[in-house]
Amino acid sequence: MTTQPKERIDLAAAYRLIAHYQMDDSIFTHISAKAPDDEGENTFLINPYGLRFDEVSASSLATVDIDGNILRDTYGAGINKAGFTIHSAVHAARSEIHCVLHTHTVAGVAISSMEEGILPLNQWALQFHNRCAFHDYEGIALDLGERERLVNDLGEHKVMILRNHGLLTCGRTVGEAFGLMFNMERACRAQLAIMSSGGALRKIDPALAEKTAQQYENWDKQHSGNKPDPQWDAFLRLATKNYPDLAN
């Protein structure tokens, strides 16, 4: 059996984990990552159109360039054009970003449909305090002209709420993008649970919220030791244990 590159295995694992935690949306939404160097310059990997997230494997990921040319597609169904618009925008504009992750969960779509976005109500939410970009809804993302507006709205942020649409995270690694989405999703679910309880909202003081957000930003420097991303290592063990075919 041919050994797949780490870039492909990590991305396939992210697809399986999004499905595992029920954050997928049938065959829609996407996770993309920079392709291995030998697959071409300025290329990225993305799921082929038609595969569920729990079916994606390292070898089935399609390779596409920034102009939308499909360089590899073993599944043979092409890619979702709306997904290409969103993901190619970030990859083209942010060279430091390795992975882009987009979801349409019930909680994420609900929070994206609220004017306030994620409120400073708990520790989970404070990771995103004043660190979340917003992009207004423009319809299904088929217009390539939206790419410029999307990246302008994203700026230097790593998380964004696509208003009336869903959530987006990006990271220097697949693990970073996945970890941000995992936490962002929990913050959204917690906020909906709090609001539906009917109790009075207790917002956290802005100064304390900022302090906590900075603690999140410095967490890896203080706790990772010799491992650059121990949380992703733990998630990767879960994925490979439960879905050994992802590396095929």
Provide block-wise average pLDDT over 10 residues at a time, the chain (248 residues). 86 98 97 96 96 97 95 91 94 97 98 97 98 97 95 98 98 97 98 97 98 92 72 96 96
Burial of 177 (0-12, 13-18, 19+ CB in 10 A): buried
What the chain holds in terms of domains, given with CATH numbers, is 6-241 (3.40.225.10)
Q: What are residue 38's phi and psi, to 5 degrees?
A: -75, 0
Amino acid 3: pLDDT: 85
Amino acid 224: pLDDT: 59
The residue among 16, 98, 87 whose CA lies nearest residue 57 is 16
Amino acid 1: pLDDT: 42
> What token pair was written down for 65?
């360039």
The residue among 186, 185, 175 whose CA lies nearest residue 235 is 175
- Given a contact cutoff of 8 angstroms between Cβ atoms, the answer to whether 103 and 188 are in contact is no
CA dist., res. 9 & res. 137, Å (int): 33
Amino acid 134: pLDDT: 98
DSSP 42-108: TEEEEPPTT--GGG--TTT-EEEETT--EEE-SS-S---HHHHHHHHHHHHH-TT--EEEEE--HHH
CA dist., res. 89 & res. 44, Å (int): 12
Amino acid 157: pLDDT: 98
CA dist., res. 77 & res. 95, Å (int): 28
